[in-house]
């Protein structure tokens, strides 16, 4: 990853068409790849960052031709207590999980346990690691999000114009997102469409918890059984809306919680060998933001989850 010099000089960066309309804080996170989000906000708050020679708020929308002053920065301490949070080893590691890339965007097969971005007690996430590992990408932003405990396809835009077009597809519901989930409990019948409104509540520790609520936001998930076992079922889950923890709360709402989910529902003992949430974003399909051609990317089920299925199949065969 790029290292900061021992004492860099202040930089004057002129906002181009690709950076126009971006928030100041997001622009700085791209320009200062790997710098902790908290330090970026501190630079803005202290007035060390200037826009057109004046102070600006983190949410300020940059305009074409704005001049942003980025202050001198010091290299990180030897013990890693300051400066960029991602080391070269972790940066190279995250590059091994890229499953698709072109000039407009890329898809990461995100491992379970890796947050999509830093914050709320998480020092760094997938976006910070990628920015540190890919200094050649001036622009790199999340198109959507995955829960920290969920693995699989995570889409990033490499151009502002691509992000806008992909977000238009997200709002129109034309990005097809499919997950594989092992649900607990005997399953009968075929596919089930779950339409339960969801509301987000904040706990005292700042964590978000979602519940079924009549006054919540509309949410729709379709669960399609792929393999039925005596006490569980492997389903493909298709999202028609994108609410926080939607699959997990909908699964618990119909009495079939996701295996390994310690947050929602009363859990029966997990299947043998399962030590994580059995939820994997295995497929994404969308229209290319430049060519408008259909793009489909798949991420295979992680080996630990595939091993759990193998054990269930062996037990069922008896």
Which of the residues are catalytic?
Answer: 147
Residue whose entry in the numeric block shows the structure tokens 């181009």: 16
Beta strand 232-239 with 220-229: parallel, antiparallel or unpaired? antiparallel
By the 8 A CB rule, do 151 and 280 touch?
A: yes
Q: What is the 3-state secondary structure (H, E, C) of the chain?
A: CCCCCCECCCEEEECCCCCCCCEHHHHHHHHCCCCCHHHHHHHHHCCCCEECCECCCCCCECCCCCEEEECCCECCCCCCCCCCCCCHHHHHHHHCCEEEECCCEEEEEECCCCCCCCECCECCCHHHHHHHHCCCCCCCEECCCCCCCCEEEEEEECCHHHHHHHHHHHHHCCCEEEEEEEEECCCCCCCEEEECCEEEEECCCCCEEEEECCCCECCEEEEEEEEEECCEEEEEEEECCCCCCHHHHHHHHCCCCECCCCCCCCCCCCCCCCCCCCEEEEEEEEECCCCCCEEEEECCCCHHHHHHHHHHHHHHHC
Question: In angstroms, how far is CA 35 from the centroid of its own chain?
Answer: 19
């Amino acid at each position: 990853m790029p290292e900061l010099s021992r004492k860099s000089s202040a930089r004057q960066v002129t906002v181009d068409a690709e950076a126009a309309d971006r928030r100041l804080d997001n622009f700085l996170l791209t320009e200062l790849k790997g710098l902790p989000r908290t330090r970026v906000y501190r630079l803005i708050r202290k007035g060390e960052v200037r826009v057109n020679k004046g102070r600006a708020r983190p949410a300020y929308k940059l305009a074409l031709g704005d001049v942003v002053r980025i202050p001198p920065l010091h290299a990180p301490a030897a013990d890693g207590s300051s400066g960029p949070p991602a080391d070269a080893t972790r940066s190279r590691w995250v590059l091994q999980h890229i499953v698709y890339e072109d000039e407009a965007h890329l898809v990461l097969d995100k491992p379970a346990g890796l947050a999509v971005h830093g914050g709320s007690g998480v020092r760094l996430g997938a976006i910070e690691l990628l920015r540190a590992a890919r200094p050649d990408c001036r622009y790199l932003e999340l198109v959507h999000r995955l829960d920290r405990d969920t693995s699989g396809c995570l889409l990033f835009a490499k151009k502002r114009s691509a992000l806008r077009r992909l977000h238009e597809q997200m709002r129109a519901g034309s990005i097809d997102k499919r997950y594989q989930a092992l649900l607990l409990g005997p399953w009968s019948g075929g596919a089930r469409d779950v339409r339960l409104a969801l509301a987000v509540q904040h706990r005292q520790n700042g964590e978000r918890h979602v519940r079924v609520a009549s006054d919540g936001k509309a949410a729709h998930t379709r669960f399609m059984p792929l393999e039925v076992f005596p006490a569980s079922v492997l389903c493909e889950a298709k999202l028609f809306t994108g609410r926080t923890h939607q699959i997990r709360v909908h699964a618990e709402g119909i009495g079939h919680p996701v295996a390994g989910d310690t947050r929602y529902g009363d859990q029966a003992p997990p299947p043998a060998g399962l030590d994580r949430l059995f939820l994997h974003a295995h497929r994404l399909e969308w229209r290319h933001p430049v060519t408008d051609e259909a793009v489909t990317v798949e991420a295979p089920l992680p080996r630990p989850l595939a091993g759990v299925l193998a054990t269930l199949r062996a037990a069922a065969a008896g």
